């Protein structure tokens, strides 16, 4: 009886992963081309694939949360962020380089990620936390450390290409793409080393931690037991097995997105928003739960860490591939996007300038996010 209970629990927790694997095996074995279906059938199948991938991503979140509960902060939140970044990189590589190249997908997806996390999820977290707890606090110096790196990278990667003269248009040359990709990865690696070692104390909140400190944290940590190590290994294996079918099915979802842009004249930013929303849903849910549980530091780490990993890890990985294959990617944001980007960075800076948050600050972030959604359809 105990064995059957374990099997039932395993199937319940991994039903979407199993469905995604079965769908991919069936589609791949028959060399199925989804864009050759009629419009109704194509949209129906695409919806099924999207829902299955969404469930699979939440399964990834489930395993990442298991590991996060077994290791201390900020390693747990960092693991979730890097897991989502791996999915995002894989999805964009498949969508951008599969079939007809989509030169604006990287820019639009990164821009959508920044709008969703820095406005949508930060705003929702602040409103939720403010509603339940009136005011919440977090480690000011740690959160500003995220923004300190996000702001220049955003401006260099999404605004500066509009002003470079090596190439025509808002693009970078292959040499520039490779240089910027390597530079971003180097800077992000240094940041992660500081976050997880020397300055780890800045990313974990306690009552008196906003005061300047020069003494590193020497808190004694307990080595993981054999049982904990086994649980971490099982969860890590489950996480990997859950990520793979998401990437494999992205090819079919990418066909539908390209068809929608070319044939249905859908807004070019809409597919990017769908991908970003699909990938970021688990992190958004994690931030929402943390703020509701009065853990605003964890919510901020999740939202800001996700935005940083996208601009400092996802973009460079795609840029390196594009540079090595001599593919031009449109990177510079335009007109109204630039204004909303500046408004986002300024609003986030003002919010993080105080270690206490309320619903009022969250409402401002949500206002910018709703403006972003509106201007997708009415640019």
Q: Is 3 exposed, middle or buried (0-12, 13-18, 19+ CB in 10 A)?
A: exposed
Q: Please, what is the Cα angle at 243 between 315 and 300, to 5 degrees?
A: 55
Residue 227 and residue 225: Cα distance in Å, rounded? 5
Residue 62 is part of which domain span?
2-214+226-377
- Residue 215 in this model has a pLDDT that exceeds 50: no
Measured CA distances, 370 to 70, 269, 364 (Å): 37, 15, 10
Share of the chain above pLDDT 90, in %: 14
Do residues 329 and 319 touch, judged by C-beta distance below 8 A?
Answer: yes
The pLDDT score that the predictor gives to residue 5 is: 65
**Taking Cα atoms as reference points, which of 253, 273, 277, 274 lies closest to residue 24?**
253
**% of the chain beyond a pLDDT of 70:** 85
d(CA 56, CA 15): 8
pLDDT tens digits along 165-188: 888 878 888 888 888 888 888 888
Q: What is the DSSP letter of 203?
A: G
Q: Answer yes or no: is 265 within a domain.
A: yes
Residue 311's CATH number: 1.20.1420.30
For residue 207, the 8-state DSSP code is: T
**Is residue 220 situated within a structural domain?**
no
- Its pTM stands at 0.80
Q: Is residue 219 part of a domain?
A: no
| Integer Rg of the chain from CA | 21
Q: Return the structure tokens found at 139.
A: 């480690």
Q: Which residue has the higher pLDDT, 281 or 94?
A: 281
Is 131 inside any structural domain? yes
Q: Please count the structural domains in the chain.
A: 1
Is residue 221 one of the residues assigned to a domain?
no
Q: Which of the two residues, 168 and 153, has the higher pLDDT score?
A: 153
pLDDT above 50 for 1: yes
pLDDT at 206: 54
For residue 71, give both structure tokens.
């290791």
């Amino acid at each position: 009886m105990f064995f059957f209970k374990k099997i039932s629990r395993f199937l319940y927790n991994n039903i979407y992963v199993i469905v995604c694997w079965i769908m991919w095996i069936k589609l791949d074995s028959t060399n199925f081309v989804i864009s050759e279906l009629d419009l109704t059938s194509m949209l129906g199948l695409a919806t099924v694939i999207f829902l299955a991938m969404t469930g699979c991503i939440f399964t990834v979140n489930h395993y990442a949360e298991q590991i996060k509960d077994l290791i201390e902060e900020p390693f747990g939140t960092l693991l979730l962020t890097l897991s989502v970044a791996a999915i995002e990189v894989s999805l964009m590589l498949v969508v951008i380089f599969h079939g007809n190249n989509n030169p604006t997908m990287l820019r639009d997806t990164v821009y959508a990620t920044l709008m969703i996390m820095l406005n949508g999820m930060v705003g929702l977290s602040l409103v939720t936390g403010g509603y339940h707890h009136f005011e919440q606090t977090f480690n000011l110096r740690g959160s500003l450390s995220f923004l300190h790196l996000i702001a220049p990278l955003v401006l260099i990667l999404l605004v500066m290409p509009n002003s470079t003269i090596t190439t025509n248009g808002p693009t970078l040359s292959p040499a520039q793409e490779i240089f910027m990709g390597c530079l971003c990865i180097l800077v992000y690696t240094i940041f992660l080393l500081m976050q997880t070692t020397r300055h780890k104390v800045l990313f974990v909140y306690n009552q008196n931690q906003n005061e300047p400190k020069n003494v590193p944290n020497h808190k004694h940590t307990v080595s993981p037991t054999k049982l904990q190590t086994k649980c971490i290994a099982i969860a890590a294996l489950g996480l990997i097995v859950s990520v793979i079918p998401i990437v494999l099915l992205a090819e079919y979802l990418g066909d539908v997105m390209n068809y929608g842009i070319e044939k249905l004249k859908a807004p070019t930013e809409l597919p990017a928003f769908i991908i970003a929303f699909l990938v970021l849903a688990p992190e958004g849910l994690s931030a929402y739960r943390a703020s509701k549980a009065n853990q605003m530091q964890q919510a901020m780490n999740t939202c800001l860490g996700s935005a940083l990993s996208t601009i400092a890890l996802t973009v460079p990985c795609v840029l390196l591939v594009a540079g090595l294959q001599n593919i031009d990617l449109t990177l510079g944001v335009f007109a109204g996007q630039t204004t909303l980007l500046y408004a986002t960075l300024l609003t986030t800076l003002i919010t993080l300038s105080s270690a206490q948050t309320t619903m009022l600050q969250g409402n401002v972030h949500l206002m910018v996010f709703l403006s972003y959604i509106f201007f997708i359809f009415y640019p």
